[in-house]
Chains A and B, each alone.
With several copies, the nearest count.
Chain A
Amino acid sequence: MLHTVNKSPFASSTLTQCLNHLAAGAAVLLIEDGVYGATAGTGAGAQIASCLKRFPVYVLGPDLEARGISSNQVVEGVVTVDYTGFVKLVVEHDAVQSWL
């Protein structure tokens, strides 16, 4: 299952809730305001780092750039993808769950 998160973790509890529900085969993709969650050195970044020990985490590059977050600010281990990569993740996983 590919889980997408599109909310800022500083405004909404959605990222935390998504991470709490991951099961075998899960991957997480941060999009839109959800990409703020990939910022290293923050509480959300620590949650992502912890998640990475068990599940792959991706972040949408165009959304990072839009928000002025450079790659060296992103938590190590998080993989940046473009929209083509987003599509590829959707194809590779058996289903998609959007955490809205």
Chain B
Amino acid sequence: MKIGILVNEGPYTHQASDSAYQFAVAALKGGQSVHRVFFYHDGVYNGSSLTDPPRDDRQIVDRWSKLATEHKIDLVVCVAAALRRGIREQNLAPGFRISGLGQLVESGIQADRLVVFGD
């Protein structure tokens, strides 16, 4: 089954990004496919290449990047939300791409389920 994921909050501040990540990992382990992870609202901050959290803490941006590489997951950051918040190509982490809101609606249509994580 194809599952789409929407992440509405940034890393560290709210648990939404953590929950979405743990959910995505479990879905992949369980043999489901992750159609796309769409980052909206403050969720776009998950795509920042400049985060440098304490070493003994989880590396939220890095693990999204790794998930994208290892499982060919499409990580899409909303362009309008990103511009408002200072995320651009120049500070976009590997594995993420910037695109329009149509990608979220498309995920709703193409995926069998859409799961939203937010505040």
Contact = CB atoms under 8 A, between A and B. Distances in A.
Direct A–B touching in the complex (beta carbon < 8 Å)? Answer: yes
Main secondary structure, interface of B, reads mixed
Contacts of B90: none
Interface stretch (B19-27, B49-57, B71-79): B19-27
A16 to B, nearest CB: 18
A88 B115 contact: no
B117 A86 contact: no
A84 B27 CA distance: 7
A95 B113 contact: yes
Contacts of B118: 6, 98, 100
A100 B27 CA distance: 22
A86 B114 contact: no
Contacts of B86: none
A87 B32 contact: yes
A13 B50 CA distance: 36
A86 B26 contact: yes
B119 A87 contact: no
Nearest to B15: A32
A56 interface: no
